[in-house]
């Protein structure tokens, strides 16, 4: 095992600290991230561009922790957001709104207003109706808004269907064949300026081929739009580069960026800046979820290790049947048995891993690896469980960057009926 999480003797360490020492102070379940791994991954994307004009816009949805955003803002990162909440987090963490692109199929008027007011760089627009709404909103604010058309290139990304986004029948983006007509219609929209094209075809892609297919279509469209007088400034290839959960061998950031830059050059479009929106590939391998074995239990057909982290803490196994490596924080000598590692949540889908070979006893700590992306960010209070704390390790020190929540947070903003003011006030009619 290599990277920021590695064994020294029998114990799993993160950077220069034994995990068991952190857990003694914060308890389990908890997420633990490595600062150096996060920064190293971001820099690998950034430096891969050399002198070429570019921006790495971290996809906030992968992990919106203020501490993670703050680290990346400190490196000069841009951000890809999909909601007002994400933009507010970026601002709170010190991110520069002029480096923000706003994706997502369902932007509300309120979200548009907030983002325009904050002065974000660009809206990645996903439909004609959204374009018209954005024009009206910008006009009302007397603003001029930069727009990129998110096109759907109809490419099979060869990933889990729930994270495929660039196929014809997906809800994302504008069908690529319609883009020239919509771009032409934009010439009549006085408050919008078409500056770019973007696509995002899916997540956890482990080969370059689908990226190449999609990007080739975007480049062809860019040439077509230029020929009809549109002054494009950038292309945005989206995110999606995969990580290693088990035995995948995804391309390195340098290989990925080299290929995109080479394709730009082949088409004579090197004057366009390139934006990318990686999420998982920056934060995925930089985080783990640590959990305690509460009970070992056998039924005739199998053994269960019942742990104190569940699908509300890490949804990916239940949602996508995703595989995460599960390892002991302290290795024991002795024979291994086969366990289904399951959580305490009242669902049969509540598992972290099935059929795992482990030598464990009740009370042992387990680490669920590659949990930095879409782990904490997909967490919920289901079964009225508290969100786990988050720890950021930097060399031989750590900070609790999200404290273990108090039980009162479970019902914040709620009240029983009749308590204080009534919950629902009738809307006033007319006027």
Ligand X SMILES: Cc1ncc(COP(=O)(O)O)c(C=O)c1O
| Residue count, binding to ligand X (CB under 6 A) | 18
Q: Which is nearer to ligand X, 283 or 366 (CB)?
A: 283
| Contact pattern from residue 281 through residue 310 relative to ligand X, giving x for each residue in contact according to CB under 6 A and a dash for the rest | x-----------------------------
Phi-psi region of 215 (alpha: psi -120 to 50; beta: other; left: phi over 0): alpha
Cβ-based nearer residue to ligand X, 154 or 277: 277
Task: State the Cα–Cα distance between residues 115 and 431, nearest whole angstrom.
Answer: 29
Tokens standing for 130? 């959204």
Task: Write the interaction track for ligand X spanning residues 102-131; mark x where CB under 6 A is met and - where it is not.
Answer: -x----------------------------
59 belongs to the binding site for ligand X (CB under 6 A): yes
Q: Which of 309, 202, 212, 316 is nearest to 257 (CA)?
A: 212
Identify which of residues 288 and 345 has a Cβ nearer to ligand X in the complex.
288
- Write down how long the chain is: 431
What residues from 161 to 180 belong to the interface with ligand X (CB under 6 A)?
Answer: 165
4 lies in the site for ligand X, by CB under 6 A: no
CA distance 103 to 76: 20
Whole-number Å distance between alpha carbons of 352 and 337: 16
Peptide bond into 104 cis (omega under 30): no
Residue whose CB is less far from ligand X, 4 or 240: 240
Contact present, 105 and 171 (Cβ < 8 Å): yes
Q: State yes or no: residue 199 binds ligand X (CB under 6 A).
A: no
Interface of this chain with ligand X, residues 355 to 394, rule: CB under 6 A: 373
Q: Which two tokens stand for residue 379?
A: 């967490």
Q: How far is the CB of 174 from ligand X (least distance, A)?
A: 13
C-alpha distances out from residue 1 to 9, 244, 285, Å: 12, 12, 12
> Of the listed pieces 2-10, 58-66, 328-336, 409-417, which binds ligand X according to CB under 6 A?
58-66
**CB 23 → ligand X: shortest distance, Å?**
28
Q: Which is nearer to ligand X, 206 or 296 (CB)?
A: 206
Among 62, 219, 225, 366, binds ligand X (CB under 6 A): 62
- Identify which range of 6-14, 16-24, 235-243, 356-364 contacts ligand X by CB under 6 A: 235-243
Q: Provide CB contacts within 8 A for 345, sequence distance 6+.
A: 310, 311, 312, 382, 383, 385
Find the binder of ligand X among 54, 217, 280, 324 (CB under 6 A): 280
Confirm whether 346 is a catalytic residue.
yes
CB 280 within 8 A of CB 238: no
Distance CA 273, CA 53 (A): 5
CB within 8 Å of 169: residues ≥ 6 apart: none
Pairing mode, strands 234-236 and 30-34: unpaired
Establish if 279 lies at the interface with ligand X (CB under 6 A): yes
Q: Which of 30, 57, 346, 359 does the annotation list as catalytic?
A: 346
User: Considering only residues 71-100, where is the footprint of ligand X by CB under 6 A?
Assistant: 80
- Closer CB to ligand X, 61 or 107, in the complex: 61
Q: How many helices (H) and strands (E) does the chain have?
A: 11, 21
According to DSSP, the β-strands at 54-59 and 78-81 are parallel
By CB under 6 A, which span of 2-10, 177-185, 234-242, 286-294 interacts with ligand X?
Answer: 234-242
Instruction: Provide the minimum distance between the beta carbon of 376 and ligand X in the complex, in angstroms, as a whole number.
Output: 14
239, 328, 343, 372: residue in contact with ligand X (rule CB under 6 A): 239
| 3-state secondary structure (DSSP) of residue 175 | strand
The 136-165 contact track toward ligand X, x by CB under 6 A, reads: -----------------------------x
Give burial (CB, 10 Å; 0-12/13-18/19+) of 422.
Answer: exposed
**Encoded tokens for 345:** 């949540």
Minimal distance, residue 237 CB to ligand X, in Å: 10
Site string for ligand X, 323-342 (x = CB under 6 A): --------------------
Q: What torsion, rounded to 10 degrees, do the Cα atoms 372, 376, 382, 384 define?
A: 120
Determine, following the binding rule CB under 6 A, whether residue 316 of this chain makes contact with ligand X: no
Q: Which residues contact 25 (CB under 8 A, 6 or more apart)?
A: none
Question: Where does this chain bind ligand X (CB under 6 A)?
Answer: 59, 61-62, 80, 103, 165, 200, 203, 238-241, 277-281, 373
User: Which residues are known to be catalytic?
Assistant: 346
């Amino acid at each position: 095992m290599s990277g920021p999480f590695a064994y020294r003797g029998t114990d799993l360490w993160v950077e220069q600290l034994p995990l068991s020492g952190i857990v003694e102070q914060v308890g389990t379940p908890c997420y633990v991230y490595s600062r150096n791994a996060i920064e190293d991954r971001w820099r690998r994307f950034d430096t891969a561009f050399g002198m070429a004009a570019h921006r790495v816009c971290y996809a906030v949805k992968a992990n919106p922790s203020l501490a993670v955003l703050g680290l990346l803002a400190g490196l000069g990162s841009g951000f890809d957001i999909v909601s007002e909440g994400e933009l507010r987090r970026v601002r709170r963490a010190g991110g520069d709104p002029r480096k923000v692109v706003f994706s997502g199929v369902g932007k509300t008027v309120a979200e548009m207003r907030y983002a325009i007011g904050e002065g974000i760089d660009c809206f990645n627009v996903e439909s004609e109706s959204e374009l018209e709404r954005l024009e009206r909103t910008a006009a009302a604010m007397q603003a001029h808004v930069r727009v990129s058309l998110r096109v759907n290139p109809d490419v099979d990304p060869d990933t889990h269907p729930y994270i495929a986004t660039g196929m014809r029948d997906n809800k994302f983006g504008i069908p690529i064949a319609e883009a020239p007509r919509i771009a032409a219609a934009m010439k009549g929209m006085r408050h919008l300026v078409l500056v770019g094209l973007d696509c995002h075809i899916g997540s956890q892609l482990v080969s370059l081929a689908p990226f190449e297919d999609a990007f080739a279509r975007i480049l062809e469209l860019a040439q077509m739009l230029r020929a009809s007088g549109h002054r494009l400034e950038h292309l945005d290839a989206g995110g999606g580069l995969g990580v290693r959960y088990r035995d995948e061998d995804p391309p390195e950031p340098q290989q990925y960026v080299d290929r995109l830059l080479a394709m730009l050059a082949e088409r004579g479009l090197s004057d366009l800046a390139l934006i990318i929106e990686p999420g998982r590939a920056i934060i995925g391998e930089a985080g783990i979820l640590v959990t305690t074995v509460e009970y070992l239990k056998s039924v005739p057909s199998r053994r269960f290790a019942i742990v104190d982290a569940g699908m509300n803490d890490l949804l990916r196994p239940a949602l996508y049947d995703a595989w995460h490596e599960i390892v002991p924080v302290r290795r024991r000598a002795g024979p291994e048995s086969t366990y289904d590692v399951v959580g305490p949540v009242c669902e049969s889908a509540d598992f972290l891993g099935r059929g795992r070979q482990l030598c464990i006893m009740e009370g042992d700590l387990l680490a669920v690896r590659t949990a930095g992306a879409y782990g904490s960010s997909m967490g919920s209070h289901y079964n009225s469980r508290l969100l786990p704390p988050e720890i950021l390790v930097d060399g031989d020190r750590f900070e609790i960057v999200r404290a273990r929540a108090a039980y009162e947070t479970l019902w914040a903003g709620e009240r029983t009926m009749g308590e204080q003011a009534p919950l629902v006030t009738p809307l006033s009619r007319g006027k």
